[in-house]
């Protein structure tokens, strides 16, 4: 729960259009994608990769933001106008980062 509260506070601090934590929680696709990712990442870490991918694909369909369940995301990450963001399995995003639309992270260079 503390991750969610920190995330909502980070959105309010970095987005001047965010009026309340409730608005951010209900209406911001970046927040929804992060919540889905936390669930998918849990399944991924526990070896339930098919279920993890199902959750991540649902999140992609619902939010337009694709985050692989194996990606490592830091705390207080803000995804602003997230359409077209792809965060791959090898990506590691640190704490207090801000990501805008149309960004691809990760990859092995192959």
Residue 8 tokens, joined: 């909502």
Q: How far is the C-alpha of 63 from the C-alpha of 43, rounded, in Å?
A: 20
Nearest to 11 by CA among 84, 82, 105: 82
27 Rama class: left (phi>0) / alpha (psi -120 to 50) / beta: alpha
Question: Largest Cα–Cα distance in the chain?
Answer: 43
The pTM for the full model equals 0.90
What residue ranges of the chain have pLDDT lower than 70? Answer: 1, 108-110
**Percent of the chain with pLDDT strictly greater than 90:** 80
Residue in the structure block whose two tokens are 């995003």: 93
Q: What pLDDT does 82 receive?
A: 82
Q: Each residue of 56-71: pLDDT tens digit?
A: 999 999 999 999 999 9
Q: What pLDDT does 108 receive?
A: 64
Q: What pLDDT does 1 receive?
A: 66
Q: What are the angstrom distances between the C-alpha of 39 and each of 13, 20, 68?
A: 25, 24, 12
């Amino acid at each position: 729960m503390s991750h969610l509260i920190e995330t909502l506070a980070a959105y309010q601090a970095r987005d001047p259009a965010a009026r309340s934590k409730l608005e951010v929680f209900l209406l911001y696709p970046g927040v929804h994608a992060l919540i889905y990712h936390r669930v998918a990442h849990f399944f991924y870490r526990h070896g339930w990769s098919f279920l993890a991918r199902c959750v991540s694909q649902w999140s992609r369909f619902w939010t337009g933001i694709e985050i692989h369940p194996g990606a490592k995301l830091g705390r207080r990450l803000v995804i602003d106008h997230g359409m077209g963001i792809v965060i791959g399995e090898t990506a590691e995003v640190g704490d207090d980062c801000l990501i805008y639309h149309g960004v691809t992270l990760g990859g092995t260079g192959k």
